[in-house]
């Protein structure tokens, strides 16, 4: 179908609305001027600045570690939850269970953050890397569960039965047949979890402790003192990184749907 002129204009307007601020940000990250709003010619000065900014690099490293660990934990837990809910026998309260699994998706982050903070305080846990990681795991595992569950629901149950019929015990059948068919969905879930973790400001602020700021926390506190062009450079890097992850996630879910009968959302 060919696009009419009106459609092209509408599309251009919509995309501009979404991406113009980002484009401005990216362009200004290459600004030579110290003032954010004044163009002073092209330069990669702020990128160098960032790579010399110890505190900022520490925060980036913290975010990366939290993201890796929490995304991996969330993928394991989310997959287990999805398997239990789609494959387990119909137990009492199963609908309630799956409803409860999805509740955090729509829960305001402030509430999730606050409740986790209260929990950690009550447990007298030292706040820092692990508390943020646990908080992010609990936030992102339901996203993974949703992605994996929709893949599992589309998988033919008789595949596992066929594997059992051919000599696999149930655990073996899962590893030999189900896992290879759902891993693209798990990979997509992992990337989603990682980006969410990298993204998160609110929950991290609630659950982190002194000296272990994540990148968004660090950026936010810098910006409150006035926008430095260095922030533009960091944001540009993050945008590039997330774009790569999102493309990866959608490729993985495409692979997953071309393998089987139904597609995972994304």
Partner 1 sequence: MTTATDILPDAIAEAPLIVAAYPMPLLRVDGVSKKFGAFTAVDGLSLDIQAGEFFALLGPSGCGKTTLLRMLAGFETPDAGKILLDGEDIAAVLPHQRPVNMMFQNYALFPHLSVRDNIAFGLKRAALPKPEIAARVAEMVALVKLGGLEKRKPDQLSGGQKQRVALARALARRPQLLLLDEPLAALDKKLREETQAELMELQRRLGTTFVIVTHDQDEAMTMADRIGVMKDGRLEQVATPRQLYEAPASRWIAGFVGDINLIEGEVTLQDAHRLTVAAAGAGMLTVAEPKAPLPSRAICLAIRPEKIRLSRRAPTSAGGLNSIEGVVTEVGYLGGLSVYKVQLDHGATLRVALANTNRLDVDAYGVGQKVVAWFAPDDCVVLPR
Check residue 167 for interaction with partner 1 (CB under 8 A).
yes
Judged by CB, which is closer to partner 1: 38, or 162?
A: 162
Asked if residue 175 binds partner 1 (CB under 8 A), the reply is no
Whole-angstrom Cα distance, residue 62 to residue 132? 10
Count helices and strands (H / E) in the chain: 12, 0
Footprint on residues 245-264 left by partner 1 (CB under 8 A):
259-260
- Toward partner 1, which CB reaches closer, 70 or 257? 257
Q: How many Cβ atoms from other residues are within 10 Å of residue 223's Cβ?
A: 11
- Cβ atoms 253, 146 nearer than 8 A: no
**Taking the complex as a whole, how short is the minimal distance between the CB of residue 170 and partner 1, in angstroms?**
8
Residues in region 37-56 near partner 1 by CB under 8 A: none
Using the contact rule CB under 8 A, the part of the chain among 20-28, 33-41, 75-83, 172-180 near partner 1 is 172-180
181 binds partner 1 per the rule CB under 8 A: yes
Instruction: Please say which residue, 107 or 263, places its beta carbon nearer to partner 1.
Output: 263
CA distance 159 to 217: 47
CA separation for the pair 250, 192 (Å, rounded):
10
CA distance 139 to 96: 19
Residues in contact with partner 1 by CB under 8 A are: 156, 158-159, 161-169, 172-173, 176-177, 180-181, 259-260
């Amino acid at each position: 179908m060919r696009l009419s002129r009106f459609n092209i204009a509408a599309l251009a307007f919509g995309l501009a609305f979404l991406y113009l601020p980002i484009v401005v940000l990216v362009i200004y990250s290459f600004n030579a001027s110290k003032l954010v709003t004044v163009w002073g010619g092209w330069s990669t000065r702020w990128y160098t600045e960032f790579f010399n900014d110890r505190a900022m690099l520490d925060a980036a490293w913290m975010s990366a570690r939290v993201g890796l660990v929490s995304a991996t934990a969330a993928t394991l837990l989310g997959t287990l939850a999805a398997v239990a809910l789609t494959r387990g026998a119909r137990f009492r309260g199963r609908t309630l269970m799956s409803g409860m699994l999805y509740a955090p998706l729509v829960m305001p982050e402030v509430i999730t953050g606050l409740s986790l903070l209260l929990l950690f305080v009550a447990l007298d846990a030292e706040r820092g890397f692990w508390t943020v990681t646990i908080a992010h795991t609990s936030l992102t595992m339901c996203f993974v569960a949703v992605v994996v569950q929709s893949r599992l629901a589309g998988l033919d149950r008789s595949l596992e039965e066929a594997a059992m019929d051919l000599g696999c015990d149930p655990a073996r059948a899962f590893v030999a047949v189900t896992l290879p068919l759902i891993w693209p969905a798990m990979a997509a879930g992992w990337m989603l979890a990682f980006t969410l973790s990298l993204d998160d400001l609110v929950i991290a602020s609630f659950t982190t402790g002194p000296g272990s700021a994540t990148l968004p926390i660090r950026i936010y506190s810098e910006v409150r003192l006035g926008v430095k062009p260095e922030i533009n450079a960091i944001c540009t890097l993050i945008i590039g990184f997330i774009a790569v992850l999102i493309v990866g996630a959608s490729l993985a879910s495409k692979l997953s749907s071309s393998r089987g009968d139904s597609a995972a959302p994304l």
